[in-house]
Each structure stands twice: as C-alpha cells, then as structure tokens.
Amino acid sequence: MLRQTLLALSRNLKFRDLMVALPATRAVVDRFVAGQDWEQALPRVKALVERGLSATVDVLGEDTTDLAQAEHMVGEYSTLLDSLAAEGLADRVEVSIKPTALGLGLPDGPAVALANARLIVQRAAQIGTTVTVDMEDHGTTETTIALVEALRADAPDVGCVLQSSLKRTELDCARLDGPRSRTRLCKGAYASPAEVAYTDRRDVDINYVRCLRALMRGQGRPLVATHDPNLIEIAQELASRCGRSQADFEFQMLYGIRTLEQERLADLGHTVRVYVPFGPDWYGYFVRRLAERPANLVFFLRSFLGRK
C-alpha cells in the first residue's frame, strides 16, 4: 500500500511543488541525484571510475510537452557526450535516455523520439561509448521496444531496459536477444495494473529469475540491475551454469544505494555500472526511489527531521 501511494505521488503535481519548495529536501535528494547539472555531476562520475566502477548517466526529465524541450534534451546529451570524450571517460561511462524525454508523447511521437535518439546514438558511437534506452510506464513498453529495434538496425549494441514486474517481459527478453544486444533487467519502479503486472513482490522476484535465466542463455549481454542480495547470488550462479565469465555480464546499481556492495562486487572482478542521474527535474525519480525500498524512506524521514 505504501509503495503504491508513493508511486501515485510521483506524478502528483501539488505534492511535487510542496516537496521541491522544502529546503530540507535538497540535502536528502543529493544522496540519490548527482547534481543539478553536469558540472556538478562530473566529479561524482569521475570518483566512481577512480574506485573501479563504471557508470551510465541519465539527464533527468520525462513526459516532454513540446518539440523544443525534446530538442533541448538532445543538446544536453550532446554536451554530456562531448565532455565524456574530452575527459577520457567514454570507455567506462555510457548514457541512458528516456523516450518520453525525447518526444515520445508528442504528436507523431515515435518518429520524433526515434529521430532524436538516433542523434544521441550516433554521437555516442563516434566517441566510443554506448546508449541504453530506459523503460518507463507500462503504456510505453511496446513503443519503447520498437524504438530500440529501429535503433539496433544501425547500432546493435543499443541497450534496452526490461521490468520483471510486467508479465510480458520473459517474451520480450527473447525478442530483444541477439548478437551484441544489451538488456538491463530491473524489477520496475512504476505503478502498473494487475492485468499487465505482478503486484506481489515474490511474483516479481520469481519472474526476475525466469527472465534472467533467459538472458543468461541468450546471445546478448545481460545487465543485472538489482540491489537484492539473493538475486545477485542467483545471477552469479546462473552465469556459471550458462558458461558465462565475469566479462560476459555486468551488475548495475543506482547511485547512492548499496555503495559498499558495488565496491565489493567490483573487487571480485565483476563489471559494476552505477546509474547516475542528474538535473533539476529530479522529483519523479526521487519519489520512485523512496517507493522501491523502505530503507530509503526511513533515511529520508530521519534526514528531514534532522536526525542522524
């Protein structure tokens, strides 16, 4: 119930305005969001790389309402990619993009988002890095997968995020598998109806394992996005059973969550990629992080009340 309430609040504009206006909120948000702009986020990304981690960087923003906003987002990613090249980080840092930030919800949205995404993918290829397409609300799943399929016609290594909370995902794992493909499997942080999604956490976890087994048996590179200790252990076992070395898959975790575990896995020789979001449009992302784990909410409340 609490999780569903928080997910509903992630799209509540009045609650957003209240949260954004509270001075105490910003200090807590800094745990999960790397900065208001790339200038603030860059030193944090460098620090991750210096600790032996990789990163995927997301310019926060979704549900773009006009073409100018979508074009502005392309410009933000172009600047980001230019900076990665100049800093010598392209071999360790990629970018994540959201279709709705690139215009998916606009008139003729799929074509607009595809054109904008292609510009980012082409620039990423020029500097020697990759792009992963984030998955959003369940209503955009099919159009997002179609977008990835179109991008892969020219760039087979474009990644796609799939959510084990959705009942369709095991089939989507097979659909998106192929040589050089990259699939990030997460549990999912959006509210979805029971007709299309599992509502019990145990069912979500069981489907995660089914989907992960399919990815480990496939031709592509599984991107295991979880903080769950049990799923991390299962991923290592499945990789071993499927004949995959540590170089044939990677773990992915969120910025600010289970940092010691990130470093532990990296010390064992695993590739660990940290999802690093930045930007002023942090509200929806932040509230979804609170919904994912009770510990995140407890941390927020204690910090908000001035307790350590």
Per-residue model confidence as pLDDT tens for the chain (308 residues): 545 554 554 455 565 555 555 555 666 677 788 988 999 999 999 999 999 999 999 999 878 889 999 999 999 999 999 999 999 999 999 999 999 999 999 999 999 999 999 999 999 999 999 999 999 989 999 999 999 999 999 999 999 999 999 999 999 999 999 999 999 999 987 778 999 999 999 999 999 999 999 999 999 999 999 999 999 999 999 999 999 999 999 999 999 889 999 999 999 999 999 999 998 877 767 776 666 655 555 545 554 444 44
Residue 85: inside a domain: yes
CATH of the domain at 111: 3.20.20.220
| Residue 288, in any domain of the structure | no
Q: Among all chains, which residue has been given the structure tokens 């898959």?
A: 249
Inside any domain, residue 7 = no
Domain count, the chain: 1
Clarify whether 184 is annotated catalytic: yes
In a domain, 78, yes or no: yes
Residue 1 lies in a domain: no
pLDDT score, position 280: 81
Domain assignment present for residue 2? The answer is no
Inter-residue contact 262 to 272 (CB < 8 Å): yes
Q: Is residue 152 part of a domain?
A: yes
Please provide the size of the chain in residues: 308
List the one residue out of 143, 149, 161 whose CA is nearest residue 118. Answer: 149
Catalytic residue among 123, 184, 213, 221: 184
What's the pLDDT score for residue 74?
Answer: 98
| Residue 162: its H or E element | strand 159-163
Residue 214 within a domain: yes
Domain span at residue 78 reads 34-281
* Set 58, 134, 172, 205: catalytic member: 134
Whether 162 and 184 have beta carbons less than 8 Å apart is answered as yes
